[in-house]
Every structure is written in C-alpha cells, then in structure tokens.
Structure 1
C-alpha cells in the first residue's frame, strides 16, 4: 500500500489512537467462521446489517440476504432499479473500501454500525491485510469471499454460514455449481474452437489478456480467446493485431462499438463482422461478462455458450433469463423486460 492510500490509513490509525477507539462497538463472539482466505472471523449470532466492501460483494449479498444489505458502493440508476427489488435496489450509496477510489472513511463506517463487512474478489495478501487492518481498527468482523467463478458455490456456502441463510445459500450454490459444470462439459464436446475476441471500448480495441479477470468467463468455460497467449490484464491492441487474429466471433460490452462496427471500414475484413457474429452482452441490472466480476456473470455462461457454440447450447435464453432473475434477483420479469435484457441495451 503506497502513496495516498497509505496516508489515508495512517490518518485513520491516528483517529483510533486519539480516542475514536472508545466508540468501537462491543461484540459478543457468537461464532467463528473460516472465510475464503482461510482467516478465522468471529461473527455475531445475529447478522442483520452487512456492509459490502465493493460492488462484487454487494451483488453477492443482494442475491442471498437483501434484507441485510446496508447499501450499494455506487447508487443504482433508473434502468438498473427496474430489475431489482423495490426498497433494496434504491438503498443509499455507502461508498467502497476496496478497489480504485475507495470512498468510505473509518468514521462513516463506524457510524453506520454494520454487524459484518464482506468483500468478494481476490484473496491475495493485499486484501487479507486490508481486512485485518479494518477489523482491528473498528472491531467489526470482516470476511473475504473468493470471487473466482469456480469458487462461486463455495462462496455461497460460506456466505450462508456468515449470514445464517444456509438453506437459500445451498440453493444458489447448487445453481452455480451445476451451471459451471454443464457449460464446461458442453464446450469440451466441441469438435472445433472458433476464434473469439472480446472487444471493449467504443473502438473495440481494448481487450482482456490471458489470465485477466475480464476474460475469466471465457477461460472458466474452456473457450479460447485470441488474446489468451498474451498474459496480463486489460490492454489496448491495434487494429492490425485484430486483423491478424481474424476472430470468427466477437463479444462486446460496448453498445457504441456493436452499433458501428459493421460500417467501419477498418473492421469490414474481420470474419466475425462479415458473418454478423458480433454480439452485445446483456448488462441490466449488472453486466453478464465482467463488470462487475460477481455472480451476475452466471447467466452470462449460458449466453456466451450460445453465441460461440449455438449448436451445443439449444436452451431458450428468455426462459433462462427469467428463471435466473426470479431466483437470484427475486424479481418477476415480463416478456418485454426479458427482451430488453437480452438486447444488451439500457
């Protein structure tokens, strides 16, 4: 931790030392749970108010324990609210503790009086140290969930233990486990692998390299994407590189790119553009591919499979969408709403 972030935490340490610690909540050690990083976390017997450390955690919590979710790291907008529970989707913006631009300070966190803090994503040492520090400074238990797709079922089981929602957690874990297993088995049966490119940004020239969280969906399913041989995170590539890759399928999250690529002379020679296989991913209320990287990606596994291997994924996407939103987001969608979701537009 360096620069402004280190300075911010130093100021918080000083606040603790100067008397803020007297305001720390007294907590009975109800039970001890091992989190996704192998840390023992003592949580109260009753967990009624949970602070999400970042957007992925907020979505995990919404799907399992919406009544306990205190708020959202970023307030949801109108198009998103339509697909979330009334009274929960519009809960206040509480800021975030992790990721870029952490916006919650220690005083605000203490004043909000959560019973538990949950973060979902990486369990690297950096995040373990952050969790330990916040927990020590505030007295509020802080649990980490492994946010990888392959760990989703285990994450729900853990979150069920933490929140006391064991039965519902088992249902959601089973859906996640069955879905990931099924899509992997289907892709493994493919006799050929089309060249797939993941396009981000209005020009379509930003993509995720091999090992990036942005293309975890592809790699978890066994779908080979053309940038897999280059290891890293998000990167900007040249149109010459895309032409050399010549993808047969393009998946994008950018509406502008999807609407303009067919008329762009730079892209006309790409096989996916010539054959009309440029697909805009759904994003309401949360993206189905990589933004944010949480359990909202589960229906994206079916969607991505149907775009890359249509013959192997014959399921009706409208039915899958309606069922997922009912089970996870706890909302009933009309046929028109389902079509709006699948169109990938706001």
Structure 2
C-alpha cells in the first residue's frame, strides 16, 4: 500500500481505536517490549496458528477465526461459543483478507501472531501496529518452543495458572516423543512421506514447519532427504515412486483413495503393505494445517503408528488432550472415527 494511502487509512481508523487505558509493558518472542492494556479482554489472531494457540489457552479472549468459521465437523470438537465466532480474516500471510475497519470495530486489545519470528515477520507486526494502533505481538511457533510460548503468553494475558497447565502438558508430550524417537532411531528410522492436498503432490522439505514433527518423532522425511531444506514444494508421482517411502501419510482423503486405487500408486511397497494412513484433521490437523500447538497430537500418534508405543492408551490420550486443550472431551465414537483411518489394521 502506498505511503499516502496508509496515512489516510490510519487517520480514518483512529476514531475506532480504543480509548487510552492503563498499560503495562510485556515482551514477545522477538525481544520487543510492547505496551498492552492492564486488562486484556479481546484478542485478534493474525492467522490460524495464533487462533489455535489462543483458543487452547484463553478461548474467551478469541475475537474470531482468521480463515473461516469452523465447519460442522470441526465445530463438534470445539466449545459452542468458539464454534459460532465470526470470520475476521487474516492480518498476515499470503491470504491477507482482514478488513481493518471491521477488526477495529470489535474493540480488540491486541493482535497476536504465532509462527516464524525473523525480520520479515517483525516488519509485518510493526506494520499491523502502525495501521491499527494496536499492540501486535509475535510468538515463536517452533515445535520445541511450545512450553516456553505458553509461559510467555500466560504472562501477557494474565493467565498464569492456565498457561502453567498447558506448559506442563506440552513438556510431557515433547519429552515422551523424544524418548520414543530415541527408541525408533535405535531400531532404524522409517522413511516417511507426507502428502498434502487432494492430489497428494505437495509436501514439506527438511526444516519445514509443516513436516517438523516427522523428524521430532525420530523418522526420516524422505522428501527432505532427497531435496534438501525448504518449505512446501510440489512433487511428482515419479519422485514418489523413486523414493519408495516406508510410510505414507495423506492429509486429504481423496489422496488416500487415489493411492489405494491407482495402479501406479499401488506399485509402492508402502501401499501394498498397508502402510498408508490418513492424517486426523478434526478440529485441526495433527501434522500441520495449520502448524500450531495442534501438532502435539501428532507426537502422541506417530510413536504408535511406528510401533514404539502400544495402541492401548492412545484413544484416552487423544480424548484427554482434547479435553484440556480444546475444552471439550470428545465421545469415544468420535475418537475412534479419528483413529480408524490413521492406523493400519492391528
């Protein structure tokens, strides 16, 4: 946006800004010290990862969903209040769709972003602050940082007890995954390919936040090994056939159905052996989609998938996670429906 238009927009939005209130200064993951209201009652998430993080800690503060309201299938795993929150659009990312006037009309106290913390994202946070007059905080979305992020966010939102509980849960899950990963590496790392989208021809490379939990679980991301570091990338069926992964994890049911029906896909040893599964995705994906704290569920599941943890107990672990993080305990039938396509037949 040209500087002149930004100035006009800022001036036009000034009247919508919240009146001056008592402030305290807090630090975010970038080291910036930012003034926030003493009492925070409403938070706008800049993108889906921030929305999930905020929902798991303080659902009553969530102003709305950045991408879209939850579908009926997703809503069945959320609180009724969260399921009916409006779509407010994204403030950051390639699908930047938020209307700033509509955002400010909700009288939020701050904007929260969660993910990468490099200079580009600091610049985006500063731009949001300049355009809205709201404090814009950025927290680190790296998987090992989840406990620290809960502790930091709990201080910002004045939710120390809730943050301590989530921090403890996340620490336990990460430690359990690390222990299982050591066992898996000693046995021999399975070579895993994660297929995103209905065609199954998108994946994440080495170091990608979208496939980070594969390595955290002790397995090898075959796309990362073959193509090196990077983010999301399009791949071909020829590459998949050449890599011949031990396990295939599909994000979309159409990709799973195609792999089981297409003769070329069925030539893969993993498909022939039944080592192809569907990633659970309700209310949020267990691998990414988006890459937020929902990935902790993937670290409960992958050690079971790879045979270093018993199946017994997984259903209860999933239900307990939902109860603590998503504030709604699913029925046994809901958990069974999540796990059925995510594990090969016993």
TM-score where L is the length of structure 2: 0.92
Question: Secondary structure at 1:43's aligned position in 2?
Answer: strand
Aligned partner of 1:70 in structure 2 is 63
Aligned partner of 1:24 in structure 2 is 17
Aligned partner of 1:3 in structure 2 is none
Aligned partner of 1:34 in structure 2 is 27
Determine if the alignment matches structure 1 residue 260 to structure 2 residue 258. Answer: yes
In 1, distance between residues paired with 2:15 and 2:331?
Answer: 52
The 5-angstrom pairing of residues 255-294 of structure 1 reads 255-294=253-292
Per-residue CA distance 1:292-342 (angstroms, 9 max, x = gap): 1111111111112221x2134555221111100100111121111112222
How far off is 1:228 after superposition? 1.5
Q: 2:197·2:252 contact (CA, 8 Å) conserved in 1? A: yes
Q: 1:249 aligns with which of 212, 236, 247?
A: 247
Question: Secondary structure at 2:330's aligned position in 1?
Answer: coil
How far off is 1:100 after superposition? 1.7
Q: 1:248·1:270 contact (CA, 8 Å) conserved in 2? A: no
Q: 1:239 aligns with which of 215, 237, 240?
A: 237
The 5-angstrom pairing of residues 46-125 of structure 1 reads 46-73=39-66, 74-125=68-119
Q: Give the direction of change, closer, same or farther, for the CA distance of 1:10–1:289 in structure 2 (3 Å limit).
A: farther
In 2, distance between residues paired with 1:243 and 1:255?
Answer: 20
Per-residue CA distance 1:21-79 (angstroms, 9 max, x = gap): 35433333422111011111111111111111111111111111111111111211111
Q: 1:21·1:137 contact (CA, 8 Å) conserved in 2? A: no
Aligned partner of 1:157 in structure 2 is 151
Question: Secondary structure at 2:213's aligned position in 1?
Answer: helix
In 1, distance between residues paired with 2:193 and 2:336?
Answer: 25
Q: Which runs of 5+ in 1 are unaligned?
A: 1-5
Question: Secondary structure at 2:210's aligned position in 1?
Answer: helix
Per-residue CA distance 1:198-233 (angstroms, 9 max, x = gap): 112333222211122211111233321111222222
Per-residue CA distance 1:226-249 (angstroms, 9 max, x = gap): 112222222222222212211111
In 1, distance between residues paired with 2:223 and 2:127?
Answer: 37
Q: Give the direction of change, closer, same or farther, for the CA distance of 1:21–1:202 in structure 2 (3 Å limit).
A: closer
Q: 1:218 aligns with which of 206, 214, 219?
A: 214
Aligned partner of 1:338 in structure 2 is 335
In 1, distance between residues paired with 2:241 and 2:107?
Answer: 54
Count the aligned residue pairs: 337
Question: Secondary structure at 2:188's aligned position in 1?
Answer: coil
How far off is 1:261 after superposition? 1.4
Q: Give the direction of change, closer, same or farther, for the CA distance of 1:344–1:139 in structure 2 (3 Å limit).
A: farther
The 5-angstrom pairing of residues 106-145 of structure 1 reads 106-145=100-139
Q: Give the direction of change, closer, same or farther, for the CA distance of 1:136–1:238 in structure 2 (3 Å limit).
A: closer
In 1, distance between residues paired with 2:312 and 2:4?
Answer: 53
Q: Which runs of 5+ in 2 are unaligned?
A: none
How far off is 1:20 after superposition? 3.8
Q: 2:52·2:294 contact (CA, 8 Å) conserved in 1? A: yes
Question: Secondary structure at 1:227's aligned position in 2?
Answer: helix
How far off is 1:116 after superposition? 1.4
TM-score where L is the length of structure 1: 0.92
Aligned partner of 1:296 in structure 2 is 294
How far off is 1:167 after superposition? 0.6
